Amino acid sequence: MFDEVNSNVDFPALEKRVIQLWRERDVFRRSVDRPAPRGDWVFYEGPPTANGKPGIHHVIARAFKDLFPRFKTMQGYRVGRKGGWDTHGLPVEIAIEKRLGFTNKGQIDEYGIAEFNALCRADVFSNIQDWNAMTERIGFWIDLADPYITYTNEYIESCWWIMKDLFDRGLLVEDYKTTWHSPSSNTTLASHEVSLGYQEDVEDPSIYPKFPAILGDLVARGVVAADETRPVSFLAWTTTPWTLAANSGLAVRADATYALVAGPARRREPAGERELYLLANELVARVFEAGTYEVLGSVPGATLAGATYRPLLVGRPGDGADPSSAYRVVADDFVSLTDGTGIVHVAPAYGDLDVGRAHGLPAIFSVDLTGKVMPEVRLVPDEDAALGTGSDALGARGPYAGVWFKDADSAITADLDAAGRMFDSGTVRHAYPFNWRDGKPLMNVAKRSWYVRTTAVKELLLANNDRIGWHPDHVRTGRFGKWLENNIDWALSRERYWGAPMPVWETEDGGKKVCVGSVAELERLTGRDLKDLDLHRPYVDEITFELDGETYRRVPYTVDVWFESGAMPYAQWHYLGDASGPEAKERLAANFPADYICEAVDQTRGWFYSLHALATLLTDPGDEASGRRPGPLARLSAPTSAFKNVNVLGHIVDENGEKMSKSKGNTVDPWSVLDVQGADALRWYLYSASPPESTKRFSAGLVDETLRDFFLTLWNVYGFFVLYANLEEPDLASAPPRAERPLVDRWLVSRLNAVVAGVTAALEGFDPTTASRLVRDFVVDEVSNWYVRRNRRRFWRSGQVQGESGKRMLDPDSLSAYATLHEALVAVTKLMAPMAPFTSEALYQNLVLRHDPSAPDSVHLTDWPQAEAAAIDEDLMRDMRALMRLVELGRAARAASGVKLRQPLPEVLVRVRSEEELEGVRSLSDQLLDELNVKAVRFLAVTDDFVDYALKPNLPRLGKRVGKLIPQLRAALEGMDGRAVAANVRAGLPTTVALADTTLELEPEDLLLDARSPEGYAAQEERGYLVALDTRVSDVLRREGLVRDVVRLVQNGRKAAGLDVSDRIALSIRAEGELAEAVREHGATLAREVLAVSLDDAPAPGSFQESHEVEGASLTFAIRKA
């Protein structure tokens, strides 16, 4: 009837057989092509880079990405799953630079851009076989035969089309701004890239440099000491000594008061000759040590504006900069009085460009774009007054020339200290951005770059975000929403090599620019056939054209790779707007926006943002009031993000909560798990351990726990069903109608349909954690530990009766049990299918296809189960739930009292929480008696108390709130009426406790109730449920318990003798004393339980024998197959 089930299942081997079955039957393609009555459901694959081997974090993302397309396919949607590869950018370039031993871009130019990019092209798929193998092995169904690849001409051309549209609408512009720059890679980074590399708790210098004031300016402003010739210093604070040579101004707050202070030359020097300083009055006590300073006077910040000073170091003035306008004090509201000195060192070239522009301060540079200190940088000697205007008269190469900018900090600090220009130096720990790919620090520098003006559509970005189904929801207004609220223009251009080239050509003087949107447009401009042109550097760099007598050359930039990945909804189809082919237009219309995407949380400022920003720009309806033109997709779609729903995944850590890293030796090779526990156990653990957004602890051991807890339990139930079904050959089609089946069967069917409804709702809400836990609890707690255990006898051959035709057949009760369990197992295989695609397939092939060859030949080609509302009996489920709770408490009471479960007891007293539950449990009392192995049950009224209670405070809830009053609270609770308080707790009412000096009102959750049993009883109480077992054992009951021990030993003997579960046996038993009396008294029960056709005390020759001691009495039994 069914294929035999091996109890020693090898899940990895099973999964490999399933993969082969899928290949042979072409199941993935057929699942995409199957009829889709509910239409398309669109999934976008976030493209990975295949130049490194896949790690466990890649497995996690792919496990979640696979689940929902499978689920939606079974629901009747068509889910195309086009794969993709991210092939450009710094990750690839850095890998090649390391291979070649390069340390700067100049070496790439010398090597040759064409040769370098050829190595990049070859490298991007260096590990493609590993990626493909891992993808197939974990069951991630994605079309890798026809993926989009970001380095193809077609993909790049679609990116050009987008940039052309933005350029024509005035949204792609060149500007001179301070932007985050990676000196190690010598390229601009966009804000979302910068956010990926922020490191917390970075140690940096914290110094207080002294800028010598021009005394005449201070005297003119009424800032004077007793001796007007004593020098005065503006005391500033900075964490970037390397920018001091770029200083061109000092900023104060106009509405703040500044103090003239006499203090030591250095912060921690003993009182002696004092120097004069100017700093914010509010911060004097923080900056100076107590007792070391004296405030001589004060002056408004506004008064200091216009005063001049001498620089500490000099640098290189920027193009067109006028050094004579430098070294002035300016007043600006950005100055903070919460830290530092209230005087801000302004370096317009390195982050303060807007301040510099507002006050006419020139940009002076100290570090080049490769992060090396410029040769002009050096200290200004005291006697060189001319340098007060930023002179470059020093000429010769400075002492820091060519030093890495962060390495120069210590030398500059030491030299300023030696020159008497440093009041204090130390370190500070703060957040600082690093290159997210090579881990080297960034710098904020003024430079020309190209920007997408995302700020022009900020409100639309926010509005579209409000319509996204974020999972978890807090990302909408939290991490992603706040990112959008603080949106700045997108720095798009990159000074790199392996990437989509920026399609802007300009005249020699840069005065005129043309943005090209396609190869066809470039052909028109050049008059050349360019269909074979590789749209990469250096080939595209060589293309020039003439317009109105002027030569246009391409700007030397590639574009942000996040722009490329964000363009995938359009570029994957080679969409070019009106110039697109019919298929590209049709594909985009059917596949935009996505119904679902999924990546890790760091993509909120990466791929999620680039998708969202480009879709918002392209579907922008425009704004007549501001003159903003509509986007090219506005006629196809209302304003939208590129995706409707998204699962944001948390990071993965080791089992101790530590971040995984090779240096710590705590990384996990995914194959080490796939080859031992298997893909399904790995996937199930990822779904069920915690919500998708949570940080996940991971180890092979945790996956192994999932395997044993869920998969082996399911396998055992499946094996139990198949074993007995093959023995009995039940005709499942002739099973009694549900309504005529026993109560426990109707309960299981009810629970099954409730679980179907719950799992469906959870997956509709993109909540695999709830879905997987519902399936697990149903299989483990309700099917295995309750239904199968309680109904095992109904599956035995003894249930057969003679039919009218004389053919042996199952009685209706047994047939009902088979049909009910089969129905539950088949439904579970379908509910599991999106989450555990291999095991579900294996069970389906045997339970369904082996039984019904006309069924779809894969579980992944079946329809999703539908919950039948009429089959869900809420009252029955409530009553059985209460019964199961009582059984759990009863077993706990037995364990606490030391009375084993095989020992029958005379009576159990039970109390439930409501009259409805009382009536329901009363109707199930036979099951309660059987489960607790008692002879009678006495039902207490809902309001009855049979036990007393010791009251204790719930310290996890009360510890912080009550604190030192805990001892008083304990004493007060000891004197209270435990039964009265317990009644309050059961009713959900607060309890008032009077202490010496105060009164506490405690919620039910604030109290722990410790039930104290009367003499002769073992009781357990929880949440209003009470079970009290009468533990007094009579001689009759004791003998019955002894026989149950004998049954257990004989059953174990059957297994040891190698007998099948259905084999009948001849049993011989020799025992002594009360044990012998127990066997004689309960011989019929013993024989029935162990399938013995005879019971005597003379073992037959060749019998299997064992001897044991039972409660101090000897026992010898012999068994042989009858």
Residue 825, CB-side half-sphere exposure with 13 Å CA sphere:
29
The answer to whether 827 and 865 have CB atoms below 8 angstroms apart is yes
Which residue from 209, 180, 206 is spatially nearest to 194, judged by alpha carbons? 180
Q: 54-82 burial, b for 16+ CB within 10 Å, e for fewer?
A: bebbbbbbbbbbbbbbbbbbbbebbbebb
Q: Rounded to whole angstroms, how far apart are CA atoms 108 and 114?
A: 10
Q: Rounded to whole angstroms, how far apart are CA atoms 767 and 525?
A: 53
For residue 420, give both structure tokens: 């008497």
Q: Rounded to whole angstroms, how far apart are CA atoms 529 and 519?
A: 9
Within 10 Å of residue 669's Cβ, how many Cβ atoms? 13
Alpha-helix residue ranges (DSSP H) falling in 2-152: 11-25, 27-33, 56-74, 90-100, 105-111, 113-123, 128-137
Which run of H or E residues covers position 179? strand 172-182
CA–CA–CA angle 666, 185, 98 (5° rounding): 55
Max CA distance (Å), the chain: 128
Within 10 Å of residue 712's Cβ, how many Cβ atoms? 15
**Distance, CA of 233 to chain centre:** 52
Which run of H or E residues covers position 750? helix 743-764
Which run of H or E residues covers position 712? helix 712-728
Kindly write down the DSSP assignment for every residue of 870-906, as one continuous string. Answer: GG--HHHHHHHHHHHHHHHHHHHHHHHHT--TTS-BS
Amino acid at 537: R
Burial (CB count <10 Å: 0-12, 13-18, 19+), residue 172:
buried
Q: Rounded to whole angstroms, how far apart are CA atoms 501 and 384?
A: 48
For residue 524, give both structure tokens: 């028109």
Edge-to-edge strand list for the sheet holding 907-911:
937-939, 907-911, 1025-1030, 1017-1022
Length, in residues, of the chain? 1122
For residue 254, give both structure tokens: 């106009």
The answer to whether 621 and 639 have CB atoms below 8 angstroms apart is yes
The answer to whether 1037 and 912 have CB atoms below 8 angstroms apart is no
The answer to whether 341 and 235 have CB atoms below 8 angstroms apart is yes
Q: Rounded to whole angstroms, how far apart are CA atoms 135 and 141?
A: 8
> Cα separations (Å) of 647 from 68, 336, 760?
10, 40, 17
For residue 1122, give both structure tokens: 């009858």
For residue 188, give both structure tokens: 């601009």
For residue 62, give both structure tokens: 């792919």
| Catalytic positions, written as ranges | 47, 86, 562, 603, 607, 659, 662
The answer to whether 732 and 819 have CB atoms below 8 angstroms apart is yes
What's 289's DSSP letter? P
Q: Is 68 helix (H, G, I), strand (E, B) or coil?
A: helix
Q: In which residue are the tokens 């209270």 written? A: 976
CA–CA–CA angle 114, 117, 122 (5° rounding): 125
Q: Rounded to whole angstroms, how far apart are CA atoms 638 and 586?
A: 17
Q: Rounded to whole angstroms, how far apart are CA atoms 730 and 724?
A: 9
For residue 215, give both structure tokens: 């005394």
